Amino acid sequence: MGRALSRRYFVRLAGAGAAGTALVGLAGCGSAGSGSGSGLTVWDYYGPPDSIYGRALQDLYERYMKANPKISVDKRFVTFDEFNRLLLQSGAGGNLPDVALANAFDTGKFAKAGVAKNLSSRVEKWGKADTYFETSWGTTVWQGDNCALPHVADCYVLWYNVDHFREAGFEQPPQTWQQLGSMASKLSNGDRIGFAFSAVEGVQGATAWVIRFLAAGGDITKVASPAGEAALQQWVDLVKSGATSASVLEWIEEDTYNRFKAGKASMMLQSASYVNVLKEEAPNLNWTVALLPEDTQRASFLSAENLVITNGTQNADAAWDLVTYMQQPDVLKKYLPERNKLPARKDLAQDPLWTEDPVWSVFVEQLPTAWAPENEVAVNSSEIFTYVQEAIQVALSGSASVRQALGQAQRNIDEVMAA
């Protein structure tokens, strides 16, 4: 993830995980018989119960147990770096938790490996699939079967410094990506840059570019394309013009946040993770958010987690009761503000809690445009994003031309998709 930890990831990378056994391949989003029992074990990577986000989740479980005194919920923290490996290994070793709170992009991976329980019949009886944003719900489906429920959602928007805009004579945020580049150049002044984003080595550093690429009409499996060249050339031009810094190659999202908070960046591309944090840490900073610019379309990037009931559960009915409880509107209206996240449910997103807030309402409006990989692209997304970020690294450093960088990325993506 880079040289520092973002607030978004620190609880995922701290602490230790559990040991597992050797990984084996399994097939399908399978089914397993449910047994009786009163205890549920849930794995997550939010942090231990005394951490910021771990506490919010633990509080939710405690409210559930108070309402359901015959059921106990045991929260188990596994670090983000270890989570996928240990869950897959535990599937092979027959030592799975009842529920896993997993990255949305990895749900298909767990379904393909036979870790995720097929929930299709339960979902059909539940009858609430249509209440969710299409992209969020799509991450829960593998080969036509429902293998999870959405937990929370998040997306990226454009954050900007109102005072900087007024000083430059800008009356509104950029409406197109071309306009963003021009405005970012004019906003740059001394050690202040016009636009900050993360391009650090690894998956996190690909996110901003993927958003720009999707706005140009790109298909993530076809990066060596006019859309890919337009997106990557703009990143190169931003650095060359001084509108952003070559240091973005080293910045994680925490770095972009810190520069924006200090008034050293006029705009940044960032998720909702920092909304309440920035209000607390920089109460005098005059900032707001706007929808991301358009190119051929307006696009954002989904950041989300799903609730997976595993094939190892002996308490399937109780596990289903827990995960559906966690998606009840009254539960989410208390929990989501504590987590600094958005609802994955369309109906809940229309609640005044979000629509009447000038900042949160922008995130809710942007959320339907948030993209997430599905099916085989989701299964291979970690590798695909890594190859994309490698292309960004070599193009921004001048080690290769935009076309050469994307050509190599395309060869790597073709290879992983064909495997």
Q: Are 354 and 360 in contact (CB under 8 A)?
A: yes
The first and second tokens of residue 261, run together, are 């908070």
pLDDT of residue 135: 93
Stated pTM of the model:
0.89
Q: What is the CATH number assigned to the segment(s) 156-300+380-418?
A: 3.40.190.10
Write down the CATH superfamily of domain 10-154+303-371: Periplasmic binding protein-like II (3.40.190.10)
In 3-state terms the chain splits into helix, strand, coil percentages (rounded to 5) of 50, 15, 35
pLDDT of residue 201: 85
Question: How far lies 118's CA from each of 114, 141, 143, 224, 316, in Å?
Answer: 9, 10, 11, 37, 11
Domain ranges of the chain: 10-154+303-371, 156-300+380-418
Specify the 3-state DSSP secondary structure of 198.
Answer: coil
Q: Say how far apart CA 219 and CA 235 lie, in whole Å.
A: 18
Kind plus residue range of the DSSP H or E element containing 194: strand 193-196
pLDDT of residue 3: 29
pLDDT of residue 18: 33
Task: Name the residue among 280, 279, 271 with its Cα closest to residue 300.
Answer: 271
pLDDT of residue 49: 85
Identical topology for domains 10-154+303-371 and 156-300+380-418? yes
pLDDT of residue 80: 87
pLDDT tens-place values along the chain, 419 residues long:
332 333 343 333 333 333 332 223 333 465 443 334 579 999 999 988 888 789 999 999 999 999 999 999 999 999 988 999 999 999 988 899 999 999 999 999 999 999 999 999 999 999 999 999 999 999 999 999 999 999 999 999 999 999 999 999 999 999 999 999 999 999 999 999 999 999 998 778 999 999 999 999 999 999 999 999 999 999 999 999 999 999 999 999 999 999 999 999 999 999 999 999 999 999 999 999 999 999 999 999 999 999 999 999 999 999 999 999 999 999 999 999 988 899 999 999 999 999 999 999 999 999 999 999 988 999 999 999 999 999 999 999 999 999 999 999 999 999 999 98
The first and second tokens of residue 410, run together, are 């395309």
